[in-house]
């Protein structure tokens, strides 16, 4: 750590800037710092060498500069943070089981590359990270330093999606997959939070008020957190297939495709119920507005008849090879989205 006061030791120390949140709402989740160990030296397998994933098992999908990588949720459940470099960009890929949220960030701030660990603390029942350079505390959900020397600093978010291994594998046969060789002995493939995503179960250590529009554990797709927060009910999105809307004055499409299991349902990750996979994209390609409908294994645009996969790439038709511009979005629980975006618009 660089010399100076640590928010990990005392986030309210007089020598530190005033925190952005009520320090009393940053509470211990149980483990000590790095008690849930991040992966700092990730090892990867080529897609063709992966044999430990079921077709409908969830993976976190991210691509930077043409470098496509998948992070199996069965591994992320036990580590929550991977400090990586993707396409030459220092990135942290993070997953919080308690709010069921995957977020990826560029870990460069003011000319320095940060390395993140798990603080053992929670804010709004969501992972609180700390950087090892200054030991400031960061909200995983917003990518903002909420206490410590870097208070107020913000990490640039990167689009990440949770999709079925089958769909990612088909889209990226030359991609890289985080392996189980993490340097730690964990029961990968099992879920340490069985039944946690039951809509009738209360959130763990959530002390805020539940927005009463929906049950706390209702699954939603959230986007526009830093501009016009918008939540789409997952059940409605799965039923409709496609929901077009406007975000910050521009046309956007959200879609959902069945076939991805919940990692938080059963004791065995592969036994979880089907909760589908989602994506949020700009609806225009080279200035041309496209409208979409879901078909059996993907989506078709009405203008050209091209078929698109869940990751937003046209795989057949006149636009084959074209990729829609992905927007940052989270598949999360309603209580968390409403806590961080209380003024959210709800669709449909």
pLDDT at 94 over 80: yes
Report the percentage of the chain scoring pLDDT > 70: 100
Task: For residues 13 and 3, give the distance between their C-alpha atoms in angstroms, rounded to a whole number.
Answer: 15
pLDDT at 348 over 90: no
pLDDT at 222 over 80: yes
Confidence bin at 252 (pLDDT 50/70/90): very high
Nearest to 93 by CA among 112, 74, 106: 106
Tell whether domain 219-347 is in CATH 2.102.10. Answer: yes
- Which residues in the chain are classed under CATH 2.102.10? 219-347
Task: For residues 180 and 184, give the distance between their C-alpha atoms in angstroms, rounded to a whole number.
Answer: 9
The model's pLDDT over 11-32, given as tens digits with 9 standing for 90+, comes to 999 999 999 999 999 999 999 9
pLDDT at 196 over 90: yes
Confidence bin at 230 (pLDDT 50/70/90): very high
pLDDT at 205 over 80: yes
Give me the mean pLDDT over the 314-328 stretch. Answer: 97
pLDDT at 41 over 80: yes
Confidence bin at 58 (pLDDT 50/70/90): very high
Q: What pLDDT, on the 0 to 100 scale, is given for residue 1?
A: 76
Give me the mean pLDDT over the 209-220 stretch. Answer: 94
For 240, the token pair is 């409709």
Q: What pLDDT, on the 0 to 100 scale, is given for residue 2?
A: 84
Q: What pLDDT, on the 0 to 100 scale, is given for residue 163?
A: 98
Calculate the average pLDDT of the chain: 96
The model's pLDDT over 70-93, given as tens digits with 9 standing for 90+, comes to 999 999 999 999 999 999 999 999
Give me the mean pLDDT over the 174-185 stretch. Answer: 97
Task: For residues 115 and 197, give the distance between their C-alpha atoms in angstroms, rounded to a whole number.
Answer: 30
Other Cβ atoms less than 10 A from the Cβ of 150: the count is 24
Task: For residues 129 and 118, give the distance between their C-alpha atoms in angstroms, rounded to a whole number.
Answer: 5
For 114, the token pair is 């940060």
Confidence bin at 183 (pLDDT 50/70/90): very high
Nearest to 161 by CA among 47, 46, 278: 278
Report the percentage of the chain scoring pLDDT > 90: 95
pLDDT at 208 over 90: no
pLDDT at 3 over 90: no
């Amino acid at each position: 750590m660089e010399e100076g006061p640590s928010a990990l030791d005392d986030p309210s120390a007089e020598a530190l800037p005033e925190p952005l949140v009520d320090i009393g709402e940053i509470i211990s989740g149980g483990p000590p710092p790095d008690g849930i160990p991040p992966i700092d030296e990730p090892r990867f397998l080529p897609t063709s060498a992966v044999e430990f994933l079921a077709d409908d098992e969830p993976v976190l999908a991210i691509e930077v500069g043409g470098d496509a990588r998948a992070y199996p949720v069965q591994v992320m459940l036990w580590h929550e943070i991977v400090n990586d470099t993707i396409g030459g960009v220092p990135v942290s890929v993070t997953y919080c089981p308690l709010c069921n949220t995957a977020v990826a960030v560029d870990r460069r701030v003011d000319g320095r590359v940060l390395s993140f660990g798990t603080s053992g603390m929670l804010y709004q029942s969501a992972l609180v990270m700390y950087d090892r350079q200054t030991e400031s505390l960061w909200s995983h959900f917003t990518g903002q330093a909420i206490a410590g020397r870097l208070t107020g600093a913000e990490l640039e978010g990167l689009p990440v999606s949770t999709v079925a291994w089958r769909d990612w594998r088909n889209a990226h046969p030359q991609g890289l997959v985080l392996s189980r060789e993490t340097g730690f002995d964990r029961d990968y493939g099992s879920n340490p939070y069985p039944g946690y995503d039951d809509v009738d179960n209360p959130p763990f250590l959530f002390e805020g008020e539940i927005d009463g529009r929906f049950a706390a554990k209702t699954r939603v797709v959230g986007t526009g957190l830093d501009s016009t927060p918008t939540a789409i009910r997952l059940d409605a999105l799965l039923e409709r297939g496609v929901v077009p809307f406007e975000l910050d004055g521009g046309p956007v499409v959200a879609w959902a495709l069945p076939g991805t299991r919940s990692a938080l349902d059963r004791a065995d990750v592969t036994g979880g119920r089907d909760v589908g996979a989602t994506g949020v994209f700009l609806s225009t390609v080279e200035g041309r507005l496209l409208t979409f409908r879901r078909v059996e294994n993907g989506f078709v645009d009405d203008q050209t008849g091209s078929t698109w996969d869940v990751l937003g790439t046209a795989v057949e038709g006149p636009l084959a090879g074209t990729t829609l511009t992905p927007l940052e979005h989270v598949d999360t629980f309603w209580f968390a989205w409403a806590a961080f975006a209380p003024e959210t618009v709800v669709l449909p």
